[in-house]
């Protein structure tokens, strides 16, 4: 018998439906286990590997993993996978010592990023540890783009937004 090849995404489709349904193929069972053990920072870092902003994603994701959750085979509701991502983000401790370090020696390549939204911040996160020099151009005073300006700071449902928009139009 050949050993299990977890580098092949098809493996997860056969075994872990929720992980397969996640566009980032986040290792859902692993971070759920860590949250159950109250290891919130470890769970957050598992999410951080595949989702650059797990705290925000835990509030905004449309949860494609949940309909694929095998739990519905034995219970009425799937595991609240997205909400657990939010729990890990809310209860984690400081992660600065766990982030990849930026090497002192650069690789000689320079990247210009236009706009400091989620896409540019993701590129910067992935390329800085590889020795790239990054210049980030942003017109706003703060970075984050639509992630910062368009996501409400308070809990709200999209139905509530549509209802208010209809009342004010």
| 71-87 tens-digit pLDDT | 888 888 999 988 899 89
How would CATH label the architecture of 12-96?
A: Orthogonal Bundle (1.10)
Q: Quick one: pLDDT at residue 25? A: 85
CB atoms within 10 A of CB 7: 6
| 129-138 tens-digit pLDDT | 999 999 999 9
Cα 152 from Cα 132, distance rounded (Å): 34
Give the pTM. Answer: 0.76
| 52-73 tens-digit pLDDT | 888 888 888 889 989 888 888 8
Residues of the chain with CATH 1.10.1060.10: 12-96
Cα 52 from Cα 113, distance rounded (Å): 17
Q: Quick one: pLDDT at residue 147? A: 82
| Cα first-last separation, the chain | 65
């Amino acid at each position: 018998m050949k050993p299990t090849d977890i580098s092949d995404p098809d493996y997860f489709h056969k075994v872990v439906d929720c992980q397969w349904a996640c566009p980032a193929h986040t290792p859902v069972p692993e971070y759920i286990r860590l949250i159950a053990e109250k290891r919130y920072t470890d769970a957050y870092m598992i999410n951080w590997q595949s989702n650059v902003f797990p705290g925000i994603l835990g509030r905004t994701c449309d949860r494609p993993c949940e309909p694929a959750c095998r739990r519905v085979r034995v219970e009425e509701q799937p595991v609240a996978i997205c909400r657990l991502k939010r729990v890990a983000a809310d209860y984690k401790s400081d992660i600065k010592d766990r982030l990849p370090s930026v090497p002192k020696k650069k690789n000689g390549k320079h990247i210009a990023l236009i706009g400091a939204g989620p896409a540019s911040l993701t590129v910067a996160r992935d390329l800085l540890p590889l020795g790239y020099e990054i210049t980030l151009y942003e017109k706003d005073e703060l970075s984050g783009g639509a992630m910062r300006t368009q996501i409400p700071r308070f809990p709200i449902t999209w139905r509530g937004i549509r209802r208010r928009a209809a009342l004010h139009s």
